[in-house]
Structure formats: structure tokens, C-alpha cells
Structure 1
Amino acid sequence: MDEVKIVVAHSERATLRVGDVFLKVDADQARIDVEFATMSLAPVPTPEVLWRKPHVLAIAALAGTTLGRLGGPSTGSPAAWAAAGAAIRQLHEAPLPPRPVRAGQSDVALAAELDDECELLVANGLLPADLVTCNRRVAEAALRPWTPAFTHGDLQIAHVFVDGDRVTGIIDWSEAGQGDALYDLATFTLGHEEHLDDVLAGYGTDINLDVIHAWWSLRSLLAVRWLTEHGFDPFAPGCEVDVLRSRV
């Protein structure tokens, strides 16, 4: 008899696996609706949707394995990482999805959120002030004008599956919409800087590396407190705090 495996769970959403079926349960029905709609528009392989009911999306398991996870060893050949880069470029060049740029993504709003978060990180004793200050300076390069692209929005390496050197699918589209293409690339390579060149070789266009580095700092600064409060460990080796330390 198949067991029920909890893949991830926190107060906002949970993902369960039963055999070859994944059940995504989300407190926000809008995220389920966005995920369902966006997967049908994405020009890259996505999981088969088996059924959808209020607050639950059932999808089939993908073939292959992920390229790794944040805080864990990276796997896959350089060609596999390049194939992922090519798939990301294909997504970014697709016609824009109907979901607009999300509220709070303007440079001014993001800078204000980042400043507030940096202040809380220091005030709550989560991170030393010099580490926060250094990374806040690095993050400044991400706060620039950008052209909206079709983005995944949460493109962790654990969300990209490959079989050999072929991308078999990309999962977890609840944050997808119009966004900054370099944010996707930075999220995908977060904690795995050693594969950035392979990814960009597959992506096939010149990229401002300072912006990639800036997004690594910015994403990590915004994530540390949330992860801590939701039962995750950003201080684990190779995770967000180590990413911040690598920028010093």
C-alpha cells in the first residue's frame, strides 16, 4: 500500500505524495488557480494535472530527478545544467502570461521592504549588522528598471527535473507571472554558484552578473526571517546565510 509522504508543509500550503501523485493543498485558492492556468501556458514541460478541486491540485510525478537542492550537493552534468538554462530562456521569451507584475515588485516598494527586513534581522539578533549592511549594498544592483518576462517566480533547483541531459519538467508554478528574468536565474543558481556558467551557456545571452549576485543577496535577506518562523533552517550549510556570507 502506498504511503502518504509529506514533501513540504507550513501554515500557507502543503504538498503530499501518494505513489506517483502529488497533492498540493493551498490556503489561497488564487495560487492554485494561477498554478493551473500558468502551467497550460508555459512553453516548457510541466507536470500533468490529474484533477483540481477547491484548495487542492493533483499532479502526476515527473520522470527524472532534480539537479539538487539548496544546502545539498548539486548533481547533473554541465550539459544538464545548460539544458535547464535553455529551458529557462524559452520560458522568458514566451508571450507574457495574463497575471500582471505582482504588487510590491516596483523598485521603490522592494527597496522599502528590504530596508524594513534588514532592520528586523539586526534588531531581532538573527544576523550581525555588518553582514546585513554588506549584503544590502550588494542587493542594490537588483533595484533597477527591467522588462517584464514570463517568469516562474520560485525557480529553485529542486523544481527542475532532468533525465540525463534533458529537462523533463518544471514544477511549482504558484508564483508564476510577469517578472524579472534575472530573478529566475538567480533563484535557480542560489547556493550553487559553481554551475552559473553552465546555466548561462544554455541560456545563451549576455547577463549582468552583478544583478545575479544582487538577487542572491536580496532573496536571502528577505527569506531568512520567514524561513526561521516557518520551521526551516536558513543557517544550514549551503543555505541562505552561507549565501550571504559568500558575498562579504
Structure 2
Amino acid sequence: MDEVEVVVAHRQRATLRVGDAFLKVDGDPAHADVELRAMAMAPIPTPQILWHEPPVLAIAAVPGAALGVLGEPSPASRQAWAAAGAALRRLHEAPLPPWPGRRLEDVAEQLDRECAWLLDTGVLPAEVVRRNREIAEAALRPRESVFIHGDLQLTHVFVDGDEVSGVIDWSEAAPGDAMFDLAILTLGHEERLDDLLAGYGTGDVDREVIRAWWSLRSLTASRWLIEHGFDPDAPGCEFDVLRARMQDP
């Protein structure tokens, strides 16, 4: 009997590992629907689907290891980061998914709401919240949409040696801003951005917008993390990302 490992569990969903299979349990069937459709469309390595019986989606483990985890130095090579950038470029150049992405108006409303919560609770100094709110403004501009992963955390990109072996967790995939994916993958690992761009290319990259998404993502994710038992104030995590922006020119 394989041991059951709880990978992540909170009120919205849980992921369990049983041997070489991951069982994703989600109360919202739309998440699995998007994930299945996105993986079928993505021109980059994705996990094998084993079976799907709502509310459970079973996928096979991908070989290799994640690029890293938030709060710790990435053990992956520069070549592996460049390979991740090249894979991301292929995704962004693929045909758009046929479902809608998030409206900028909704993102702006969420940003205002979460900044108000941060100021009201005092979990961060007011000047840190206000300065990052200013920086985040650059992300709230009209842009051409591309096929984005939508939640491209370090732990969602796996590499085997210097090659991408699989990208997991596609439930947020949609048309969106390419700079968002670049920002989420380098959140808390800003020193790896040049390695990532070595494979992605730099001709259409806007570093100001990437910095804006670092701020916006950290501001809007903090309350959810706190309420679901995570610590955005752990070393190298979201609060450190926000504090680092205070040193930007």
C-alpha cells in the first residue's frame, strides 16, 4: 500500500500524492475543466492525465524536480532557468484559449480591496503598502493577451537536468499578460530573471511591468495566504518582496 502524502490542503482544495500519482480534490468543477483543456492545448510538457471523476483529478508525477520553492535559493542551473524561459515563450506564442481571462477592472478592484485590508489590519507598514500600490499601477494597463499559465509558481515548473520535464497546475490558465507569468515565476527570485529571459528573449519584455506584477501579486495574495494558514512574512516570501520594492528607484 503506497503511503498517502498531503501535498497541500485548505478550504478550497487539497492535493494528495499516492505513489506516482497526484489526486487533486476541488469543490469547483470549473477548475478541473480549465486544467484539462489547457493541458491539451499547451505546446509544452504537462503531466499525464490518469483519470478524472469529479471532484477528483488524478495526474501522473512528472520526472525531475521543481525549479525551487519560495523563500529558498533555487538549486536549478542557469541553463534550466533558460529552458523554462524558452518553454514559456512557446506557450505565449500558442493560440489563445477560447475562454476569457480576468478583466483589468476586476484586478484593479481586487488590488484596492486588498490594500485597504492591509492598511486596516496593520500587518505591514502603511508606507510599504502605499509605495507598492503605486508600483503596481504599471500592471493595470491595456495589453495584448497571450496564452498564460496564470499561476506559474516555482513549484509548478519541473526540470530534469537542464530541460523542462513538466509544468503542473493549469487551473488558472487563460488569455492574459505575458509579463504576469514572467513575474510569478521569478517572484522572490529576482536574481534569476536574467537567466529566465536568456531563454525567453528580451525584445518585448517590460521589466517595469514585471516589477509591478511582483508588487501586485504580493499585495493581493497576502490576505488569502494568512487566512489559509500560510505565512507571507516568512523569509524571502511576499512581505519581503514588498519590502524590497522600497529600495527600487
Shorter-chain TM band = over 0.9
Q: What is the alpha-carbon distance in structure 2 between the residues aligned to residue 124 and residue 235 of structure 1?
A: 14
Q: What is the alpha-carbon distance in structure 2 between the residues aligned to residue 174 and residue 140 of structure 1?
A: 26
Q: Partner residue of 1:210? A: 208
Q: Partner residue of 1:30? A: 30
Per mean C-alpha deviation after superposition, the further-off stretch among 78-87 and 114-123 is 114-123
Q: Partner residue of 1:154? A: 151
Q: Partner residue of 2:127? A: 130
How far is the alpha carbon of 1:205 from its aligned partner?
A: 3.0
Q: Partner residue of 1:238? A: 236
Counterpart code for 2:218 = S
Measured against aligned partners, the alpha-carbon deviations of 1:22-46 in whole angstroms (never above 9, x if no partner) come to 0000010010111011101100000
Q: Partner residue of 1:141? A: 138
Measured against aligned partners, the alpha-carbon deviations of 1:135-166 in whole angstroms (never above 9, x if no partner) come to 00111111111111101000001000001110
Q: What is the alpha-carbon distance in structure 2 between the residues aligned to residue 162 and residue 109 of structure 1?
A: 34
Q: What is the alpha-carbon distance in structure 1 between the residues aligned to residue 133 and residue 206 of structure 2?
A: 18
Q: Partner residue of 1:68? A: 68
Q: Partner residue of 1:182? A: 179
Q: What is the alpha-carbon distance in structure 2 between the residues aligned to residue 172 and residue 98 of structure 1?
A: 18
For the residue of structure 1 that corresponds to 2:195, the secondary structure is helix
How far is the alpha carbon of 1:221 from its aligned partner?
A: 0.1
Q: Partner residue of 1:225? A: 223
For the residue of structure 2 that corresponds to 1:247, the secondary structure is helix
Q: TM-score, normalised by structure 2?
A: 0.96
Residues 1-80 of structure 1 mapped to structure 2, 5 A cutoff: 1-80=1-80
Structure 1 segments (4+ residues) deviating >4 Å: none
Q: Partner residue of 1:195? A: 192
How far is the alpha carbon of 1:98 from its aligned partner?
A: 1.3
Measured against aligned partners, the alpha-carbon deviations of 1:93-134 in whole angstroms (never above 9, x if no partner) come to 0001112123xx22x332222112111111012211111001
Q: What is the alpha-carbon distance in structure 2 between the residues aligned to residue 22 and residue 99 of structure 1?
A: 26
Measured against aligned partners, the alpha-carbon deviations of 1:74-110 in whole angstroms (never above 9, x if no partner) come to 11111100000000000000001112123xx22x332
Identical amino acids, percent of aligned pairs: 65
Q: What is the alpha-carbon distance in structure 2 between the residues aligned to residue 133 and residue 167 of structure 1?
A: 38
For the residue of structure 2 that corresponds to 1:147, the secondary structure is coil
Counterpart code for 1:37 = R
Residues 76-155 of structure 1 mapped to structure 2, 5 A cutoff: 76-102=76-102, 105-106=103-104, 108-155=105-152
For the residue of structure 2 that corresponds to 1:96, the secondary structure is coil
Per mean C-alpha deviation after superposition, the further-off stretch among 199-208 and 226-235 is 199-208
For the residue of structure 2 that corresponds to 1:57, the secondary structure is strand
Counterpart code for 1:229 = E
Q: What is the alpha-carbon distance in structure 1 between the residues aligned to residue 83 and residue 110 of structure 2?
A: 34
Q: What is the alpha-carbon distance in structure 1 between the residues aligned to residue 228 and residue 78 of structure 2?
A: 34
Q: How many residues are matched?
A: 245
Q: Give ranges in structure 1 of 5+ residues lacking alignment.
A: none
Q: Give ranges in structure 2 of 5+ residues lacking alignment.
A: none
For the residue of structure 2 that corresponds to 1:182, the secondary structure is helix
How far is the alpha carbon of 1:204 from its aligned partner?
A: 1.3
Q: Partner residue of 1:165? A: 162
Counterpart code for 2:42 = A
Q: What is the alpha-carbon distance in structure 2 between the residues aligned to residue 91 and residue 72 of structure 1?
A: 27
